[in-house]
Structure 1
Amino acid sequence: MSQPHGFETLAIHAGQEPDPVTGAVVPPIHQTSTYKQDGVGKLRGGYEYSRAANPTRTALEECLAAIEAGAHASAFASGLAAEDCVIRAVCAPGDHIVVPDDAYGGTLRLFRKVLARWGLTCTPVPLGDADAVRAAIRPETRLIWCETPTNPMLGITDIAALAGIAHEAGALLAVDNTFASPYLQQPLMLGADIVVHSTTKYIGGHSDVVGGAAIVRDQELGERIHFHQFAVGAVAGPFDAWLTMRGIKTLGVRMDRHCDNAERIADMLTDHPRVTQVLYPGLPGHPGHEIARKQMRRFGGMISFRVDGGEQAALDVCSRSRLFTLAESLGGVESLIEHPARMTHASVKGTPMEVPADLVRISVGIESADDLIADLTQALS
């Protein structure tokens, strides 16, 4: 497809030309493990075995690269599989990574309990503090790992500034763009080297498929990640790839509705007497608001808030909600609510990265905003 095109056009068409044989406008699900060769080593379209490549997965990868303005994308079985593959493709035993001090609990578990046994060390720092980041960098630092917005504290990091720090040190910058989605933020355009996603979340958008992705702007790096993925095997299956592509087609319109609803709910929570703090980058009082305005299209559909009354009060809000379903994950069309300290971030309990016990995290869906506000109001009563 010729460039340039708008985001919404790329989301619907990139990698998804009509089938040349039948004219089908939706790429088919190539549910196969292997491919007939026309002679030894004579492959049709380069396909020999679906761990190496599958046409449905190729279509998804081309679309992901296009909507993140990257040169190469790899689609994985999960977001954590993408993270693990990126780190092992970039780093070696003995290397060091700078990580956020409020990252997703699963990411921190991967660093601290899995990759540490492989010989990797990491230092958690507040990535918004340039001096702290520079102080954490060592001669063996190969990667700075960033989330923005962070999970669950909704912290914002200046991607362009962090890329400058990383490159000065001879390191790469990887950005977990899951909370923002490619529609709201494109880290590669801001200087990042690698973008990762849990495509389970906003990209898939319907809570019906688990997946991950890594997108890069350097073709050689992309090929290195792809080789590592091929060698290890954490690939997205064809049906999962097809479902994820279907989700991407409506990503733009969904994200606009997520943002519309979240902005209204953030305002309501700010005014509620039982809420002691609202963490949402769209609020002018948020410490990262101006940076978010600069590097994001809008502010997203994720909100965290703290409740007067401590942990039990937060648990009560989670249990009383009705439209906000008590569940882990995020980014689907339905609204979800959870208690990070006991659910998604339980793995960091007792560490410096522990999250507040009175914190509630919500993933604002695309239902009627009035209904969602009414539900939260009664849950807080």
Structure 2
Amino acid sequence: MAKSEYSVIGVMSGTSLDGIDIIYATYVFDKVWTFKIHQSETVKYDTYWTTILGQLVRKSTEELKDIDMDYSKYLASTILDFINKNHLRQIDFVASHGHTALHQPEIGMTYQIGNDHILADILKTKVICDFRIQDVKYGGQGAPLVPVGDRLLFNDYEFCLNLGGFANVSYETSNGRIAYDICPVNIILNAYTKRLDLEFDDKGKMASMGHIHQPLLNDLNILDFYRQLPPKSLGLEWVQTYVFPLIEAYNLQVEDILRTCVEHMAIQISKVLNVEKTNVLITGGGVYNDFLIDRIRSLSKSKISIPSKEIIEFKEALVFGLLGILKERNEVNCLKSVTGASKDHSSGRILMPRT
């Protein structure tokens, strides 16, 4: 008989390169799932790892294997520091997303670094990871993976919107849960604020001082991706191939780039949320961009709900903990209605320490 309570470390690293999100939480199943986050931390990447992770799409498979090993060791060390700092003793397992190196599901390719077996060896505990690869083998997008958590942990909301490197959304339809990436967000905004030696645009103040460049806005809004039907997902390669060249072609000031891109993001997001009397949960680092949130509110008919700081920043790590539990219980953690795979399935690899 399956356990009803689990103590899990959930780990997430996103494409915006903000850092590694780590939580320690308990999950209890009594007809429905509930949770409590006991400890949480974001470990910022240093310059070395920010540079390496930002260049993954340019690396060969052989180079990625070496980086995978190094990153797995670094991830293990980071998680171990978290465990020791918080004096954690009761841990059923670590559930880790790893970091997306390549994501081209249309050709059957996805590669998450940080999932080498050495992760479990160093931590000396069970690790459940590599949640995308099986779904891609079943013909799915391998993303988004969070919607199962939205359904089981946050079903008070009609829409769950995450503003991270990309904006993605999850909601129920008559044919089951559906979810997909909407548009790039912090992966673009942070790239341009870095030109001014800033990590991010604090509260969107720089964007608010810029002007919309209408030709660029038009170019962004007519990208082919926005005409595609779900399931669909985005990756860094897509941004580097299609978005950055459009922006660079106009030689604009950073403030005008940010203003135009924020407007583009708000337009694309509001198209999805344009339903009256709908309650929307928004999480992810983009929540702190007040200007972006204001533009979404202005263009959308939905009621925007912003949760506690803990949920804003660590919802994805929390959900990956749940995905690990579902894998441990051999229960569905990946929905074909979300990814387009041939079937619902229990995705992920289980690594046991070898020493």
Q: Say which structure is richer in strand.
A: 2
TM-score, normalised with respect to structure 1? 0.28
Q: Say which structure is richer in helix.
A: 2
Higher relative contact order (CA 8 A, sep 6+): 2
TM-score, normalised with respect to structure 2? 0.30
Which of structures 1 and 2 has the bigger CA Rg?
Answer: 1
